Structure 1
Amino acid sequence: MSKRDYYEVLGVAKSASETEIKKAYRKKAIQYHPDKNPDDKQAEENFKEAAEAYEVLSNPEKRQRFDQYGHAGMSGSAGGGYSGGGMNMEDIFSHFGDIFGGGGFGGGFGGGGGRSSRRVNRGSNLRVKVKLTLQEISEGVEKKIKVKKHIECKSCNGSGAKDGSSFSSCSTCHGSGQITRIQNTILGQMQTASTCPSCGGEGKIITNKCTSCSGEGTVQDEEVITINIPAGVAEGMQLSVSGRGNAARRGGVNGDLLILVHEEEHPELIRDENDLLYNLFVSIPDSILGTAVEIPTIQNKVKVKIDAGTQSGKILRLRGKGLPDINGYGRGDLLVKINIWVPNNVSKDEKKILEKLQTSESFTPNPTAQEKSFFKKVKNFFD
């Protein structure tokens, strides 16, 4: 089932401001919140869908990619699925709690506030550059890349504790991860919540740290990651693979792997969006008499016919021999530009032949009346 347009999900126009997007998401989140719709699977899916849409449209970089390439430009195209699509409820509560203020995502719902009060660590994103040939771009390709990154510590399974259970509840915040303060103002009592300074918002303290990772839950290592590049990507496009970035401290949410596409130059073909360009040089006799020549395409060589009397600058169009559109709107064409090759040096015999042809009417330029008028205007201008 294809995904809905993110603007449609939140019910906003493509020109919507950041404030309008945030307001629309808050409205959807309240409407479909699990605490308001218990045991309603459709409401839960709508809740997740709205969260995914907000994650993209609230991020200027992701929003620009989505506006330009649609869903194909997001991480789903690069394999591994888009980050929003794989979210569970805890991810959503931790990622978007700020939209409802310091009191937690629930904003007054019974279960929501408690679930979002504790801080969830998030790993940083990784950015890698992947070089692709035109053939790989034309067909799509699976790549295996080796990256240095933070991975989950195997000794403690990412918990940071030596035996996996060496934790005690934070005595400062009593396990909530937040410190609540009440202030008296002229408007009455104001309640504010802030991250607990003792536990960093985690609600618990490690009593016996893992010696392999020093209590961080992550270690530096190398990992081989398989990524699927969709057909039709372009130079400078950025794809994202959810959860394959740096691991988070103490079992949090992993960062994403950002893939920057670098297009290698083809020795003969030039890319122009989804079209390919090729400069074909033919001799004077071949342009006069006509011939058949082989020209390169991405996959192989094809033979094309050059008609007799072909003029320099003529464009031949080979339909469907270009690159596929990343959004599935067909393929581009291969455009072949004819260039008449004039030799710098000729032999004595060739020169005699050319001198004879020079006086022939067939080899004398015969411009049209319109062309003569244009040339006259140009001459008058320079005189």
Structure 2
Amino acid sequence: FGDIFGGGGRRGGQQRHDAPMRGGDLECTVEISLEESAFGCEKEVKFPRTEKCSSCNGKGAKNPQDVTTCTTCNGAGQVRYAQGFFSVQQPCPDCHGRGKTVKNPCNVCRGNGLVRENRKVKVTIPAGIDNGSTLRLTGEGEAGLNNGPNGDLFVHVAVKQHKVFTRKGKDLHCEVPINFITAALGGEVSVPTIDGKKVSLKVPEGTQTNQILRVREKGIKALRGITNGDLYCHIFVETPVKLTESQKNVLRQFADDSGGSDSHNPKSKSFFDTLKGLFTGE
């Protein structure tokens, strides 16, 4: 029966419960902007945790002589009762499993030696960190028992959605609207970058909506990388609105000069050729 109940032949008092025990780990979340994730920053986080009572220094009593070994369990924190062939182990009813009794408990922690406090710590966010990453702060968790070490604090990083950029790995993506004249004739447009500056983007002649143009090394440097990612610009060609009559006439003239040629609209030609093949079986 000793093998079944774990510890047959041991008497109360031989297994002590006053050994140092490590405190529990804690978790919290910190929100940062995309710019802060790109270049790094320092954030302050607030969280509640169990700390050693400063009034009694974690002893449970201001006078250390008031803390004595429990005479019922001899400091084991557990007592064993024999019931026929069976042996049942239970927490000590006098010290409630702590192995010690306090004659005059501390009026701050009431003899527990631990108190609940709100903690503030500064967290260094490294440049290049991505959404969902976790940082570990050693020793910032719950206080340990019997002078055991504190647990750790795990800080989960949440990067807020950006109004312009979307991050994929170390690359950035953004939508760049251009007018149909620049799309048709080519040219240059100014696009923003994550560092708050602007770069000139060359738009080739005949650029279409959803075409992607790349600006090298204008993305984000990976957490453990050397080079920056790239900036991918997703082109959106805007159709002009609120045209004047003279502007409409210019466009009508362009349509007449084109003579319905498919060479100016390759996607339209491809689309209608596909439809023709569906209905004719070609």
Q: C-alpha distance in 2, partners of 1:272/1:124?
A: 35
Q: C-alpha distance in 2, partners of 1:139/1:179?
A: 58
Change in CA separation of 1:332 and 1:193 when aligned onto 2, cut-off 3 Å: farther
Residue 26 of structure 1 aligns with which residue? Answer: none
Q: Quick one: percent identity of the two aligned structures?
A: 33
Compute the displacement of 1:163 (Å).
Answer: 2.0
Compute the displacement of 1:178 (Å).
Answer: 4.8
Q: Map residues 1-383 of structure 1 onto 2, 5 A cutoff.
A: 118=18, 120=20, 123-179=23-79, 196=92, 198-248=94-144, 251-299=147-195, 300-328=197-225, 330-361=227-258, 364-366=261-263, 375-381=272-278
The structure carrying a bigger helix percent of its residues is 1
The structure carrying a bigger strand percent of its residues is 2
- Cα RMSD of the aligned pairs, angstroms, is 3.6
Compute the displacement of 1:356 (Å).
Answer: 1.2
**1:229 alignment partner AA:** I
Of the two structures, which has the highest relative contact order with CA contacts closer than 8 Å and spacing of 6 or more?
A: 2
SS of 1:150's partner is: strand
Q: C-alpha distance in 2, partners of 1:279/1:328?
A: 26
Q: Deviations over 1:286-331 (max 9, x none)?
A: 2233322221111122222223333333211223322233354754
**2:33 alignment partner AA:** T
After TM superposition, the structure 1 stretch with the greater mean CA deviation from structure 2, 366-375 or 172-181, is: 366-375
Change in CA separation of 1:365 and 1:183 when aligned onto 2, cut-off 3 Å: farther
Q: Deviations over 1:319-345 (max 9, x none)?
A: 332223335475432111122111122
Change in CA separation of 1:267 and 1:282 when aligned onto 2, cut-off 3 Å: same
TM-score, normalising length from structure 2? Answer: 0.77
5+ residue gaps, structure 2, are: 8-13
Compute the displacement of 1:174 (Å).
Answer: 1.9
Change in CA separation of 1:199 and 1:362 when aligned onto 2, cut-off 3 Å: farther
Compute the displacement of 1:361 (Å).
Answer: 3.8
* Alpha-carbon contact 1:269-1:276 (below 8 Å) kept: yes
Alignment length, in residue pairs?
269
**1:324 alignment partner AA:** K
**1:311 alignment partner AA:** Q
**2:256 alignment partner AA:** T
Q: C-alpha distance in 2, partners of 1:291/1:181?
A: 90
* Alpha-carbon contact 1:119-1:202 (below 8 Å) kept: no
Residue 45 of structure 1 aligns with which residue? Answer: none
**1:171 alignment partner AA:** T
Q: C-alpha distance in 1, partners of 2:108/2:100?
A: 20
